[in-house]
Structure 1
Amino acid sequence: MIKAMKFHFEKLINRIAEADNQEKIKENETILMLSMLGLMLLLAAVISGIIGTYWQERLIMVVIVTGCLFCCGLFMMLLIRMKQDTRLKTHLMSMALLLGLLATFVAYYQRVTIIFWMIFLIMIIMSNMMIQRTLFYYMLIAGILFFPVSLLYYPIASIQIDDAFNLALVAVLSCIIVASIVTNRIYQQILIKKSAIYADTVSQKEDLNQLYDDVVAHQQQLKAQNELLFLYNTQIEANQERLEFLAYTDTLTGMPNRKMILEQIDLMIDLNKENPHHFALVFIDLDNFKKINDSMGHGAGDLLLQQVTARLRKTMDDKDLLGRLGGDELAILIRRQISDEKILGYTQELLNLLGNPFRLDDKAAIITASFGIAIWPVDASTSGDLLKAADTAMYKAKAMGKNCVQFYRKEMKTEVLYKMELENQLIEAFEKEMFFVEYQPIVDVADQKKAGFEALLRWEAPDRGLVSPAEFIPMAEEIGLIGELGEWVLRQACEKIREVREQYDIDIHIAVNVSAVQMKRPDFLAGVKAVIRETGTPPERLTFEITESVFIGNMAQAIEIIRDLKDFGVMISLDDFGTGYSSLSYLLQLPIDVLKIDRSFIAQIEKEEKNNRIIGSIIEMVHGLGIQVVAEGVEEIPQFDFLKDKHCDWIQGYLMSRPLGDVAMAEYLLQQRDKD
């Protein structure tokens, strides 16, 4: 209870100290005085009952005085809760206090004269704690009235010092101490607040001084800026020439940019209009530059471009102009009139020069480039057309295997247009779902009733008919569509496995081709697993056919992806074995389940003894590694007999079946089941 009272008084004192206007101060100090005086009157009621009984006063007198004091104290406590005007509360509080004092005066004045006036003194002191003077005036007037009355009715007062007197004296002294403590706390809080206000004032004054200093400093700075304005204007004029230079310069390499190259071509055309002299434009594109950016970062790519241009400049003729068209595309304007043979020899020398390794962040990088050459005015009459012709020749160089030089020929334009049209049709075919899948059986040599299938993507273009996968698959890889196509084929295969199971109660195994480009995509594994889970396909019913190109570049990463697929349940088959760089020792490192011997070996069976021995050795050695063998491209019975004799596990080819559509595949499966 004492803690609660202390918390209540502390709260009221803090409110008084923190109040920001007089009305709030008056309201809170009135509540504080009501709390203190109410407690004092309740305490006085208790003490009155004790000393009245002790002095054996009349019972009716003790009850009246004690009751009066208790009611006055209780009334003050109730006033705290009442929602009345602060001034009215103060008047009611003063009246209740006077009533309590009057009761004490009438009952005990003769016995405790000194204590009575001490109580009166306490009330006057406490009334001075308030901003409002109402209580003080009440106490002052009461004191003026009580004094003559006491002289009139009690001219001679005696002091009876006994236990009751001592109790009353202790109570009064306690009230004096409490009142002094409360008064001290109030003024302490007020002093703290005023100190904080003073500190804020000092801080604000310092801020104002700092602001004034800042204003003065800004004025001085403005003056200095005004003085420099003329100088800046002069510098702007000087920088105008610099800006014009930058408008024609590539910031990374410091070479002329596309705009300057085209303007220089236009200038050459204007100079040679009346007396035409041939000049050449060489379009250069760095092969596989994106791989440098992806594997080593764009910083390494920028450094490579700087080193390439620096190396070319050292070897080029001073009369020629080297520029950067953008990205990894460069151009050389050969302004000299030289023969096509010399141009070819000159550009071939530059091409060979780029074949030497570059150092990028302590790592060696080897790149190649494709060169396309166009001659003015033979191949084009304007700068834009000349650039397009050289660009077309460069793409032809890329199509021929990259790392070579090609002169522009008019038929190239037709080829480029054909390729562009085919690319557009390929994208449209994917968007409109114009692809379909055929399934070619892969038959068990020992038990020809058992067969799996290979899913083969087909595309029938509206004006072209069936387009060879050898033509559109590389194109899909080049334009970034192979990932979506590969995922679509996988989904078709998974749905086919489920469809056959549901309709014919037959469990089939399907092999799906996965390209190196598709497998190197960051989202490859997540996409594959998502499709298999969504279709509810058992992973062990799938085989992914990969080629050796998957392992070129980052073999460790490729092996890690394959192991992840195998852990998931998918089988792995190495396709086209014998056409790349694989060796039997190389196979020891590859976590594969099946090896497919390329059709070029199968076609030579029974024609070359050396070829037969190679195939036999491959089958025997691969079996020794625990890997199954599939022979693809089997079209003749002697080929089948030879492979069976060599214990080849599976065969695939037209001898057993052509690729089958959905209906033909269903018939094939039913025939195989009927044979059982």
Structure 2
Amino acid sequence: MAEDMKRETRHRPAMAEAETKDADAAGLGTIKSLSDGISLSLVLILASVATIFAVVFYSAERIDLFANNKSVEQIERLIELELDDVSSISLEYGWWNEMVEEVIYGRNMEWAESNAGGYLQKNYEMDWVLSLDANGELAHGKHGDETIASIPAAVMTPELKQLISEAIHTDFSAPKPASGIIDINGEPGLVGITSFTAYEPTNLEIDRSHGALILIRMLDREFLSRWSEDFQVGELTFISKNFRNNDIKIEQYNSLVISNVQGESIGHLIWNSESAGKRFLSLVLPWAIAVGGFILLFSAMFYYKLRSYSRIAQEHLTELNSSRKTLLSLAKYDFLTGLANRSLFVDHVSREISHCIRHKRKSAVIYIDLDGFKSVNDTLGHSTGDELLCLVAEQLAENVRKEDVVSRFGGDEFCILLTDISEDSDIYRVIEKIHHHFSSPFTIGDMRLVIGASLGIVIIPDDTTDCSNVFRFSDIAMYKAKSIGQNGHCFYTSDMEETSRNRTRVKSQLAGAIDRNELYLEYQPIYTLSDREITGIEALARWQNEELGQVSPAEFIPLAEESDMICHIGYWVFDRALNDLVKITQDTEVELTLSINISARQLRSDDFPSKMEEIRERHGIDLSRIRLEITESLLISEHANEHSVLCELSEKGYRLALDDFGTGYSALGYLQRYPLEVVKIDKSFVSDSLASNAFLIKTIVYMADMAGMTTVAEGIETPEQEEFLSSTGCMYGQGFHFSRPLVLEDTISLLKARQNSLLS
């Protein structure tokens, strides 16, 4: 039989060749007719592709035109709204008896400054506040920080005089403001003018003008810059009609003619043109080219292969494809879970992207990272970890449809491809199923293991049509979800990538911040609530970088805590704060308590107490004046070194405080494990509704009091909050209601000022 098989195999090529020749002869006429048909089809396809490209370019041009017109309409509307705002404010303050009495007739400059000039500048962003009496003389004028004695000629233009005349000739029973735009030193000013008019009851004459209130808000560079930022309009700039600069061509920008009250052009407001059409082209054109090219290529290949293929070639190709599929099957699946591996999943996603674009459908990729898996692997062994991965794979496969794809992407990371999504609710259903399964323990033998899953979701094609970006974006979203908390999920948004880049840039700059002397300290005073005495200060790290500007501590401290940078920053803060405390004591003769925040990474260092002592002894500060603040999450940490270091610091004489108490971790049992002296009530309880948090705050104060600890309330911003906290028995407080964080010099000035007030 084996010999027969060999003989059959030996004769198969000849037989196939003969069959192929017969097939070629029989199909020659068919091939020719098909070739002619395909040639005509190619011509029609070329014409169709050209039509598509013409439509795409025309659509892009129309989109740009529409976007630019809408942008001009938006700016026109903004100017109208600003002009209406200036007019309504002038009416509100011009038709006011007390204003007329105090400013026009009383010439009460102090009253005018508090209620008109400085007040309107500060609260309503007015650049010029001018009060004219009935004779047209300036009763009170304010420009910038200066009180002016006369109106400059550049301001008192014929256009302004025209508006004044319109304002004072009004119906005194219902005065109306006059408004318009004037040119002041080459910049447009929005003017609102109301006649000073009296209404009953008053001793003033009712039916006459007592002068005019002139308010001017300048459309200067600072104001336009704020508009650009608030309304996402690119680089608004005013170009005066007298401005000459060959580098600026107005026709290259969106522009709006700014006219004065007499209808004369005083210049142009210009800004960057919208490029929505170009963005549309950048998204559509590559795929249109790809689809058109694919159609042409496929047609050409079909045409030539139809003429050259033979049956023997087909047989060999079939065998080759069969072998190739077998090899690919072995190479495309994860050996442990049986799921598609990374390579196969990438192929599925790549094909799905094309499918979504062709059929205008949506798909989603869910990137899953297991929370707590490393701990299982390290403590229970890799065999248990492998079993857990198989259970997770099984659960994930049960949560999706047959047409969806589940992949083990590597390690404890999994990916799911949800195809042909009709509604967003389809995605949420899968997410809810996953979270539901991970909320219950996994059973392995007699062990019940609880782990979480952080999910990052990308929508195709809404978020991207690039395969590599699908995985990069979903990874970014997953890490965002992990930063929020375990067993959470997060959909990718475009700002996340910028956040990721900013994070990398901030971390890079932070590494050299100390060497470049970019860090500095501010101090927030801590007051006694009973008599408002300053008893201490909290040192707060600040960072001003030449490239990044002022970086918030909420941004750079968490980044520093990811590495040993937080230890270097912590020692720097401690050293600088003690040095400043010595200066404060010498300059004010006031001995304050200094509060300094300590991170978990610092406490995990064995030599932390000795380094702290070395710094403290160098400055000669008494231990009782130093309060080290730790976060609530440290109380439930199982890290042995943290507990021993805290106890050692307490034994040395450092005062320990629990910061941000009440944010969800600790209980009285944890408080009793550590030598704490102070509990700081988190500002979220103080700044939110006191009515809803009153019982919780009273409970915290009571718990601390029973444990022999004092309480400090953070984030006090109003007198009502101060009064309530004092009534609960809370002893100390800090917040903007008392004082913002201050640099060293301002802290010393504050203490001296309080001393002087007590002496006087």
Question: TM-score by structure 1 length?
Answer: 0.54
* Contact map agreement 2:340 2:408 (CA 8 A) in 1: yes
- For residue 261 of structure 1, the aligned residue among 333, 342, 345 is 345
Q: Does 1:322 align with 2:406?
A: yes
Q: Is the alpha carbon distance of 1:294 and 1:630 closer, same or farther for their aligned partners in structure 2, counting shifts above 3 Å?
A: farther
**Cα shift readout 1:194-225 (whole Å, capped 9, x = no counterpart):** xxxxxxxxxxxxxxxxxxxxxxxxxxxxxxxx
* Secondary structure in 2 matching 1:659: coil
Q: Kindly provide the amino acid, as one letter, of the partner of residue 708 in structure 2.
A: G
* Contact map agreement 1:300 1:361 (CA 8 A) in 2: no
Q: Is the alpha carbon distance of 1:252 and 1:450 closer, same or farther for their aligned partners in structure 2, counting shifts above 3 Å?
A: same
Q: Is the alpha carbon distance of 1:301 and 1:491 closer, same or farther for their aligned partners in structure 2, counting shifts above 3 Å?
A: farther
> Could you tell me which residue of structure 1 aligns to residue 651 of structure 2?
567
CA distance in 1, matches of 2:353, 2:723: 70
Deviation, structure 1 residue 493:
2.6
Deviation, structure 1 residue 594:
0.5
Q: Kindly provide the amino acid, as one letter, of the partner of residue 542 in structure 2.
A: R
* Secondary structure in 1 matching 2:607: helix
Deviation, structure 1 residue 506:
5.8
Deviation, structure 1 residue 290:
5.2
CA distance in 1, matches of 2:357, 2:701: 70
CA distance in 2, matches of 1:335, 1:274: 14
CA distance in 2, matches of 1:342, 1:377: 16
CA distance in 2, matches of 1:326, 1:422: 25
Q: Is the alpha carbon distance of 1:336 and 1:538 closer, same or farther for their aligned partners in structure 2, counting shifts above 3 Å?
A: same
* Secondary structure in 2 matching 1:431: coil
Q: Is the alpha carbon distance of 1:269 and 1:292 closer, same or farther for their aligned partners in structure 2, counting shifts above 3 Å?
A: same
CA distance in 2, matches of 1:501, 1:513: 21
- For residue 576 of structure 1, the aligned residue among 647, 660, 667 is 660
CA distance in 2, matches of 1:257, 1:664: 61
Deviation, structure 1 residue 428:
0.3
> Could you tell me which residue of structure 2 aligns to residue 350 of structure 1?
434
Deviation, structure 1 residue 528:
4.8
Deviation, structure 1 residue 302:
5.3
Query: Which runs of 5 or more structure 2 residues have no equivalent in the other structure?
Result: 1-322
> Could you tell me which residue of structure 1 aligns to residue 607 of structure 2?
526
- For residue 543 of structure 2, the aligned residue among 437, 459, 462 is 459
CA distance in 2, matches of 1:498, 1:431: 27
Which range moved further: 256-265 or 479-488?
479-488
Q: Is the alpha carbon distance of 1:348 and 1:482 closer, same or farther for their aligned partners in structure 2, counting shifts above 3 Å?
A: farther
Q: Is the alpha carbon distance of 1:362 and 1:488 closer, same or farther for their aligned partners in structure 2, counting shifts above 3 Å?
A: farther
CA distance in 1, matches of 2:391, 2:604: 30
- For residue 285 of structure 1, the aligned residue among 339, 344, 369 is 369
Deviation, structure 1 residue 574:
1.7
> Could you tell me which residue of structure 2 aligns to residue 431 of structure 1?
512
* Contact map agreement 1:320 1:333 (CA 8 A) in 2: yes
> Could you tell me which residue of structure 2 aligns to residue 418 of structure 1?
499
Q: Kindly provide the amino acid, as one letter, of the partner of residue 457 in structure 1.
A: A
Q: Does 1:554 align with 2:638?
A: yes
Q: Is the alpha carbon distance of 1:657 and 1:406 closer, same or farther for their aligned partners in structure 2, counting shifts above 3 Å?
A: closer
Deviation, structure 1 residue 451:
1.8
CA distance in 1, matches of 2:694, 2:429: 45
- For residue 738 of structure 2, the aligned residue among 625, 633, 656 is 656
CA distance in 2, matches of 1:634, 1:340: 42
* Contact map agreement 2:365 2:474 (CA 8 A) in 1: yes
CA distance in 2, matches of 1:276, 1:615: 55
**Cα shift readout 1:155-201 (whole Å, capped 9, x = no counterpart):** xxxxxxxxxxxxxxxxxxxxxxxxxxxxxxxxxxxxxxxxxxxxxxx
* Contact map agreement 2:473 2:497 (CA 8 A) in 1: no
Which range moved further: 479-488 or 366-375?
479-488
CA distance in 1, matches of 2:721, 2:358: 70
CA distance in 1, matches of 2:387, 2:590: 59
> Could you tell me which residue of structure 1 aligns to residue 456 of structure 2?
372
CA distance in 2, matches of 1:377, 1:416: 17
Q: Which has the larger radius of gyration?
A: 1
- For residue 440 of structure 1, the aligned residue among 515, 521, 524 is 524
Q: Is the alpha carbon distance of 1:569 and 1:255 closer, same or farther for their aligned partners in structure 2, counting shifts above 3 Å?
A: farther
**Cα shift readout 1:496-548 (whole Å, capped 9, x = no counterpart):** 34555677776542111234x536x632x523531332452554432222232
Q: Count the aligned residue pairs.
A: 430
> Could you tell me which residue of structure 2 aligns to residue 598 of structure 1?
682
Deviation, structure 1 residue 604:
7.5
More strand as a share of residues: 2
* Contact map agreement 1:348 1:405 (CA 8 A) in 2: no
Deviation, structure 1 residue 549:
1.9
Q: Does 1:492 align with 2:576?
A: yes
**Cα shift readout 1:615-665 (whole Å, capped 9, x = no counterpart):** 556435533322122222334455545555655432222343321212112
Q: Is the alpha carbon distance of 1:297 and 1:543 closer, same or farther for their aligned partners in structure 2, counting shifts above 3 Å?
A: farther
* Contact map agreement 2:440 2:450 (CA 8 A) in 1: yes
* Contact map agreement 1:632 1:651 (CA 8 A) in 2: yes
Deviation, structure 1 residue 438:
0.8
CA distance in 2, matches of 1:535, 1:489: 12
Q: Is the alpha carbon distance of 1:639 and 1:492 closer, same or farther for their aligned partners in structure 2, counting shifts above 3 Å?
A: same
Deviation, structure 1 residue 357:
1.3
Q: Kindly provide the amino acid, as one letter, of the partner of residue 677 in structure 2.
A: D
> Could you tell me which residue of structure 1 aligns to residue 265 of structure 2?
none
- For residue 554 of structure 2, the aligned residue among 470, 479, 482 is 470
CA distance in 2, matches of 1:293, 1:459: 40
Q: Kindly provide the amino acid, as one letter, of the partner of residue 601 in structure 2.
A: Q
Q: Does 1:514 align with 2:598?
A: yes
**Percent sequence identity over matched residues?**
33
CA distance in 2, matches of 1:436, 1:274: 56
* Contact map agreement 1:532 1:538 (CA 8 A) in 2: no
| 1:219-298 mapped onto 2 (5 Å cutoff) | 248-250=332-334, 253=337, 255-268=339-352, 278-287=362-371, 289=373
Q: Is the alpha carbon distance of 1:495 and 1:265 closer, same or farther for their aligned partners in structure 2, counting shifts above 3 Å?
A: same
CA distance in 1, matches of 2:630, 2:395: 39
* Secondary structure in 2 matching 1:660: coil
* Contact map agreement 1:440 1:657 (CA 8 A) in 2: yes
| 1:124-139 mapped onto 2 (5 Å cutoff) | none
* Contact map agreement 1:491 1:532 (CA 8 A) in 2: no
* Contact map agreement 1:494 1:532 (CA 8 A) in 2: no
Q: Kindly provide the amino acid, as one letter, of the partner of residue 392 in structure 2.
A: V
* Contact map agreement 2:660 2:682 (CA 8 A) in 1: yes
**Cα shift readout 1:552-586 (whole Å, capped 9, x = no counterpart):** 35388755443233123222112223342545565
Q: Is the alpha carbon distance of 1:385 and 1:562 closer, same or farther for their aligned partners in structure 2, counting shifts above 3 Å?
A: same
Query: Which runs of 5 or more structure 1 residues have no equivalent in the other structure?
Result: 1-238
Question: TM-score by structure 2 length?
Answer: 0.48
> Could you tell me which residue of structure 2 aligns to residue 85 of structure 1?
none
Q: Kindly provide the amino acid, as one letter, of the partner of residue 465 in structure 2.
A: S
CA distance in 1, matches of 2:326, 2:579: 64
Q: Does 1:666 align with 2:728?
A: no
Q: Is the alpha carbon distance of 1:443 and 1:278 closer, same or farther for their aligned partners in structure 2, counting shifts above 3 Å?
A: closer
* Secondary structure in 1 matching 2:614: helix
**Cα shift readout 1:583-621 (whole Å, capped 9, x = no counterpart):** 55654444310112233444579x64x866665564355
